C-alpha cells in the first residue's frame, strides 16, 4: 500500500493530515493516477452548446472539427444534460497534458478565430467555454477500478498501487499535494464579469482564488441482474436528487453550480450507462462540509453502502472523481448568448441574453 501523494511531490507538512493512524487500512481498495515526474500543469476545457430545443449530436463538430493537428487534445468525451430552466446542453470535455499545447491549438486549429467571431453572437445557439489550468499539485483523483481510466487518467503514465488515503472524511484533502502546505481558503463574494458592456451577448467572468471543482463519475455499463436493478432503482435516483439540490439550492452550501451529465458514445451520440456530476464549490472546505454532513450527501452515501452490502461488496459499478483546487489566474469562463443561470453566471446579476 502506498501514499496517494507520490514521493516527488511530498513536502514537509505545515497543514496536518486528517489521517493520524499511520497503520490505517482502508476497508476496500482504491487507486489514484500516476504521471511522469516532469508533468507540471494541465488543461481541462468544457466546450458547450445550449439550446431551448434538443441538440442533434452531429453539432459536436462545431467544436471537434478543430480537434486536429499536433496540438489537439489527448482525450475528449461528449456528454449532455438538461438544466432546471429546461435548456438542452451538449458538452465536450477535453484534456491537454500542458498549457502551451492548448494555447497553440487555439490559434493553429482556427478555433480561436471561430470562437471570437461576432457571428457567434448572432446564431441560434448559446455557447460557453470553461477552462482550467491545474498544476500537478492542485488536483487529486480516486478510482474504484485500477484498469478503467476516466478523464485526466487518460493522460497519466498509469495507476498507483492500492493507496491508503481514502474511505474516511478528510481523505480528499490528504490526497491533494498542495494541501500539505496551504489551507486553500476560498474567496468571498460572487463571480464578477470582466469589462462586460451593458446587455452584452458575450460575458467573461473573473476567476476566484482556490475555487474547488469536483468531477465525480459513475459507470454501470458492466452491471447486470440484481446489481443493475439496485443501482438504477435505489442508488441513482438518490444521487440525482443530490445533484439537483446542488444545482438549484447549492449557493447556500457554497456550491456555485452543479451539472449532472450523461456520457455519450463519441461515435454515435447514444447515451451510455455512465454519468458524472460537475460541481463548483467556493473552496475545498465547503465541498468537504457538504460531503461530510449535508443530508443530501449523507443519503447518497447511505444508499451506496446499502447497495454494496446487498451485493456482499462484490460490485461491477465503477466510480471515480477528480478534484481541483486552483487559483483565479488558472480559470477562464466565457458565455455567449446563454441564459442568466448558466454555469457560473448563476452568481452574477446579468441580463438574460438568450432569446
pLDDT digits (tens, 9 = 90+) for 291-327: 998 899 889 988 988 898 898 888 899 999 999 999 9
CA–CA dist 167, 190 (Å, integer): 32
Look up the CATH number of domain 137-151+166-178+210-326.
Answer: 3.30.70.100
339 is catalytic: no
Between helix 236-249 and helix 295-310 the angle, nearest 10°, is 170
- For range 159-180, the mean pLDDT: 96
Write out the three cell numbers for 3: 501514499
pLDDT at 355 over 50: no
Q: Give Cα 299 distance to the centre of its chain.
A: 21
pLDDT at 353 over 60: no
- For range 262-273, the mean pLDDT: 97
> Lowest mean pLDDT: which of 31-35, 85-89, 351-355?
351-355
pLDDT of residue 220: 95
pLDDT of residue 348: 66
pLDDT band for position 352 (50/70/90)? Answer: very low
- For range 76-94, the mean pLDDT: 97
Strand partners, 75: 95
CA–CA dist 116, 349 (Å, integer): 23
User: The cell 477552462 sits on which residue?
Assistant: 131
In the chain, what percentage of residues exceed pLDDT 90?
Answer: 85
pLDDT of residue 127: 98
Q: Where in the chain is the domain with CATH 3.30.70.100?
A: 137-151+166-178+210-326
Nearest CA to 259 out of 142, 54, 84 is that of 84
pLDDT digits (tens, 9 = 90+) for 106-160: 999 999 999 999 999 999 999 999 999 999 999 999 999 999 999 999 999 999 9
Burial status of residue 286 (CB atoms within 10 A of its CB: 0-12, 13-18, 19 or more): middle
pLDDT at 197 over 80: no
pLDDT of residue 313: 82
Write out the three cell numbers for 326: 486552483
CA–CA dist 258, 236 (Å, integer): 16
In the chain, what percentage of residues exceed pLDDT 70?
Answer: 97
CA–CA dist 335, 129 (Å, integer): 7
Contact 117, 124 (CB under 8 A): no
pLDDT at 354 over 50: no
> Lowest mean pLDDT: which of 32-46, 65-79, 197-211?
197-211
pLDDT at 199 over 80: no
- For range 81-103, the mean pLDDT: 97
Strand partners, 216: 277, 321
- DSSP reduced 3-state for 128: strand
pLDDT band for position 37 (50/70/90)? Answer: very high
Strands (E), 168-242: 202-205, 211-219
Say which of 88, 321, 332, 339 is annotated catalytic.
321
Strand partners, 90: 49, 80
Contact 346, 256 (CB under 8 A): yes
pLDDT band for position 209 (50/70/90)? Answer: very high
Q: Give Cα 142 distance to the centre of its chain.
A: 13
* Residue 349 CB contacts under 8 Å (≥ 6 apart), including other chains: none
Nearest-5° Cα angle at 213, 211 to 215: 175
Count Cβ atoms below 10 Å from residue 214 Cβ, excluding itself. Answer: 22
Confidence (pTM):
0.94
DSSP run (H or E) holding 105: helix 99-108
Strand partners, 45: 94, 131
Average pLDDT over the chain reads: 94
Q: How many CA atoms within 13 Å lie on the side-chain side of 35? A: 21
pLDDT of residue 198: 60
pLDDT at 350 over 80: no
Contact 104, 116 (CB under 8 A): no
Amino acid at each position: 500500500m502506498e501514499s496517494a501523494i507520490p514521493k516527488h511531490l511530498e513536502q514537509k507538512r505545515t497543514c496536518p493530515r486528517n489521517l493520524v493512524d499511520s497503520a490505517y487500512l482502508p476497508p476496500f481498495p482504491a487507486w489514484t493516477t500516476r504521471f511522469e515526474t516532469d508533468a507540471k500543469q494541465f488543461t481541462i476545457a468544457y466546450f458547450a452548446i445550449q439550446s431551448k430545443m434538443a441538440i442533434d449530436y452531429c453539432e459536436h463538430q462545431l467544436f471537434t472539427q478543430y480537434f486536429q493537428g499536433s496540438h489537439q487534445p489527448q482525450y475528449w468525451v461528449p456528454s449532455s444534460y438538461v438544466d432546471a430552466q429546461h435548456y438542452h446542453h451538449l458538452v465536450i470535455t477535453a484534456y491537454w497534458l500542458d498549457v502551451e499545447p492548448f494555447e497553440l491549438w487555439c490559434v493553429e486549429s482556427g478555433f480561436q478565430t471561430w470562437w471570437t467571431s461576432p457571428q457567434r453572437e448572432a446564431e441560434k445557439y448559446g455557447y460557453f467555454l470553461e477552462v482550467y489550468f491545474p498544476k500537478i499539485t492542485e488536483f487529486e483523483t480516486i478510482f474504484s477500478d485500477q484498469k478503467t481510466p476516466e478523464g485526466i487518467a487518460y493522460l497519466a503514465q498509469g495507476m498507483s498501487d492500492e493507496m491508503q488515503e481514502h474511505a474516511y472524511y478528510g481523505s480528499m484533502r490528504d490526497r491533494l499535494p498542495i494541501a500539505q502546505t496551504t489551507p486553500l481558503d476560498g474567496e468571498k463574494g460572487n463571480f464578477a464579469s470582466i469589462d462586460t458592456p451593458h446587455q452584452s451577448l458575450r460575458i467573461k467572468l473573473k476567476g476566484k482564488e482556490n475555487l474547488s471543482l469536483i468531477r465525480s463519475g459513475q459507470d454501470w455499463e458492466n452491471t447486470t441482474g440484481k446489481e443493475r436493478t439496485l443501482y438504477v432503482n435505489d442508488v441513482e435516483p438518490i444521487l440525482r436528487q443530490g445533484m439537483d439540490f446542488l444545482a438549484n439550492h447549492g449557493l447556500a452550501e457554497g456550491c456555485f453550480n452543479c451539472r449532472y451529465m450523461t456520457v455519450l458514445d463519441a461515435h454515435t451520440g447514444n447515451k451510455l450507462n455512465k454519468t458524472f456530476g460537475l460541481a463548483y464549490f467556493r473552496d475545498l472546505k465547503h465541498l468537504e462540509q457538504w460531503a461530510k454532513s449535508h443530508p443530501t450527501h449523507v443519503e447518497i452515501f447511505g444508499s451506496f453502502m446499502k447497495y454494496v452490502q446487498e451485493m456482499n461488496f462484490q460490485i461491477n459499478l465503477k466510480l471515480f472523481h477528480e478534484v481541483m483546487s486552483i487559483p483565479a489566474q488558472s480559470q477562464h469562463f466565457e458565455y455567449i448568448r446563454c441564459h442568466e443561470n448558466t454555469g457560473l453566471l448563476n452568481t452574477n446579476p446579468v441580463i438574460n441574453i438568450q432569446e
